Structure 1
Amino acid sequence: MSRIERKVRSLVTADAEMKAAIETVLDSATDNEVQWVDVRDEITSGQWGRLIEKGILVDGDSGFQIESPDAVRAGLTEESATDEIESSSWTKWDKGAAGLTVGLFAGYAWAPARNVVAGAIDVVLGPLTNIVPFYVVVMIIALATGLYSTLLRVALMDTEKMGEYKARMDEIKQKREDAKERGDEEALEEIQQEQMEAMGDQLGMFKEQFRPMVWIMFLTIPAFLWMYWALGFRGGVEHYAFQNIVIPFAGEVSWTTGIVGPMQIWIVWYFLCSMAFNQIIQKGLNISMTPSSN
């Protein structure tokens, strides 16, 4: 996009009435020149001044010359004025999962909700505690959450679109650095405006990232509530008496012993297993979660 096209788009974005003013100037020009007297009945002096200030109108032989008429017209086109990356829309199922996820968070603080959710999950996980030690149960949970988390990100997050967002932001950043090196204050002002317009890109990128996260939390929170419920976390009723675990430097300790600040051993063990399994799954399936700006 040329400098003039970007300026025209900036003007139209800031003030929709500028589009009609610029079209009037284009239509009134003769040999690519126009005088104030030709347009003063149709546009305001403020609009005329803005066109001169932005360099869209420059000194001509007998009046003002339109700087790059083709670029000005391109800046007025709908495609240019709405030059945004189309973000993925959330379905009713996505929104429903988000609402239920918010409700599941209540289980962390409200025992009745936790008992209902954990009791339902215990139908699946309870029998495992009679077969394998608790640390293996946590590993199985971490493996399951790692697998569906990876698959949900692949299915719901458009990494190509994420790459487009990243590429645009990297381009703006590079142009800003180049303008600073040149000491080009006018270009810096234009880039500042472009950055403001690109705020929508950051929102779109957040939506792309958060959509699979909603489903991941929707499926993971119940498993966490079951572990809370089973261990009697935060003074709750302990529903299972799991065998203690032996860890380096501390020896034999219970699963609810604090190890990293307020974080108890079972939480740390889950996150360690989850990170390890995530890496193995992504490597094994040859999946990259990092958007490319190429």
Structure 2
Amino acid sequence: MPRTAEKVESLAREDGALLDALEAVLDVVEDDGVVEWSDVSDEMTSGQWGRLIEKGLLVDADGSGFVVDDPEGVRDALSDDDVSDAAADGDGESSWSSYDKLAGVGALGMMAGYSLPAVRDAIGGSLDVLFGPLEAMLPFYVVVMVLAMLTGLYSTLLQANLMDMDKMSEYQEQMQEIQERRKDAKERGDEEALDRIQQEQMEAMGDQMGMFKEQIRPMVWIMLLTIPVFLWMYWMLLSPNQSIHPQTITLPLIGSVNWTDGVLGPLQAWILWYFLCSMGFTQIIRKSLNIQTTPT
């Protein structure tokens, strides 16, 4: 029973509709003893049928059809509250809240500061109250290092808290499993299985969209907090009323350059220095806090 319950709960997390498919199959088996695809084709997709077989809940009955493995355990699992909760999570966990959408709109609005001086001056002047004293005490390259460490810290924490790594791992595992079954079916020359797997791939596109949403959701919050920091640095470098010390920075393999000089094509020196610091500090923070920001 515990193993059966785990299988059913795993299906529920993938797609709550799989529970309805499983219940339809179970009803036919209880009435007729066995079930075939033609018995339930009106109530489920071929992809769902294949998933039940792949999961081991439907097993071949010596060529006479299929039977449900541990039907009593399946019935108990279908009535379990944990499975119902898993189905609800699987159907709606990737949806964005109204706050996420507002964060996305706010981030897009702040991006206008890169081309609109009025927006840049407003945001830069406001943040100067916070960062100005820091710049007055430290060289500008150290200020950039401090800001890179700060943005790396909250970016890592946001990714860890807003991304469901378990769910993203399930998405990746499901797609890899489909690809492996497609490869095996192609090697066997099983056209019927290939057609079923092709349809299952099409249905899995919704899961890929869910994975994309999981990845993008923390990014809008990171942008909302990071763009103002960038705009403050940009404002400091462009404002005629500000004096950056020192006026140049010495970069490895490049030498001494002004902060606004292009060092890698149009990439200016201050942006390159920020990215180098950010990548280094982010890796240290992830290792120190033992935070995983990519699915396994």
Aligned length: 243
Q: Deviations over 1:69-113 (max 9, x none)?
A: 869xx9xx9x9xx99933333222212211111111111111111
User: 1:120 matched to which residue of 2?
Assistant: 126
Aligned-residue Cα RMSD (Å) equals 3.8
Distance 1:32 1:91, change over 3 A: closer
Letter in 1 for 2:106: L
Q: Does the alignment pair 1:85 with 2:90?
A: yes
- Out of 246, 251, 267, which is 2:250 matched to? 246
Q: Deviations over 1:150-205 (max 9, x none)?
A: 11111111111111111111111111111122222221111110000000111100
User: 1:281 matched to which residue of 2?
Assistant: 285
Distance 1:256 1:93, change over 3 A: same
- Out of 244, 254, 261, which is 1:257 matched to? 261
Distance 1:189 1:238, change over 3 A: farther
User: 1:271 matched to which residue of 2?
Assistant: 275
Please give the alpha-carbon distance, in whole angstroms, between the structure 2 residues aligned to 1:173 and 1:287: 30
Letter in 1 for 2:242: H
Distance 1:189 1:115, change over 3 A: same
- Determine helix, strand or coil for the equivalent of 1:88: coil
| Moved >6 Å (runs of 4+) | 29-33
Q: Which moved more, 1:177-186 or 1:156-165?
A: 177-186
Query: How far did residue 248 of structure 1 move?
Result: 3.8
Please give the alpha-carbon distance, in whole angstroms, between the structure 2 residues aligned to 1:220 and 1:188: 47
- Determine helix, strand or coil for the equivalent of 1:85: helix
Query: How far did residue 246 of structure 1 move?
Result: 2.0
Please give the alpha-carbon distance, in whole angstroms, between the structure 1 residues aligned to 2:242 and 2:106: 25
Please give the alpha-carbon distance, in whole angstroms, between the structure 2 residues aligned to 1:32 and 1:90: 42
User: Are the aligned partners of 1:282 and 1:288 in contact in 2 as well (CA < 8 Å)?
Assistant: yes
- Determine helix, strand or coil for the equivalent of 2:263: strand
Q: Deviations over 1:97-137 (max 9, x none)?
A: 11111111111111111111111111111111111111100
Query: How far did residue 32 of structure 1 move?
Result: 8.2
User: Are the aligned partners of 1:84 and 1:201 in contact in 2 as well (CA < 8 Å)?
Assistant: no
Please give the alpha-carbon distance, in whole angstroms, between the structure 1 residues aligned to 2:267 and 2:242: 20
TM-score by length of 1: 0.70
- Determine helix, strand or coil for the equivalent of 1:105: helix
Q: Deviations over 1:195-230 (max 9, x none)?
A: 000001111001111111111000000000111111
TM-score by length of 2: 0.70
- Out of 226, 229, 241, which is 2:235 matched to? 229
Letter in 2 for 1:231: L
- Determine helix, strand or coil for the equivalent of 1:289: coil
Please give the alpha-carbon distance, in whole angstroms, between the structure 2 residues aligned to 1:290 and 1:248: 30
Q: Does the alignment pair 1:172 with 2:178?
A: yes
User: 2:59 matched to which residue of 1?
Assistant: none
Distance 1:197 1:180, change over 3 A: same
- Determine helix, strand or coil for the equivalent of 1:231: helix
- Out of 213, 233, 237, which is 1:207 matched to? 213
Note the residue ranges of structure 2 that are not aligned, 5 or more in a row. Answer: 1-16, 36-41, 50-63
Q: Deviations over 1:238-277 (max 9, x none)?
A: 7333311123444322111111111011101100100000
User: 1:104 matched to which residue of 2?
Assistant: 110
User: 1:290 matched to which residue of 2?
Assistant: 294
Query: How far did residue 67 of structure 1 move?
Result: 4.6
Please give the alpha-carbon distance, in whole angstroms, between the structure 2 residues aligned to 1:182 and 1:264: 56
- Out of 160, 182, 185, which is 1:154 matched to? 160
- Determine helix, strand or coil for the equivalent of 1:256: coil
- Determine helix, strand or coil for the equivalent of 2:250: strand
- Out of 140, 147, 159, which is 1:134 matched to? 140
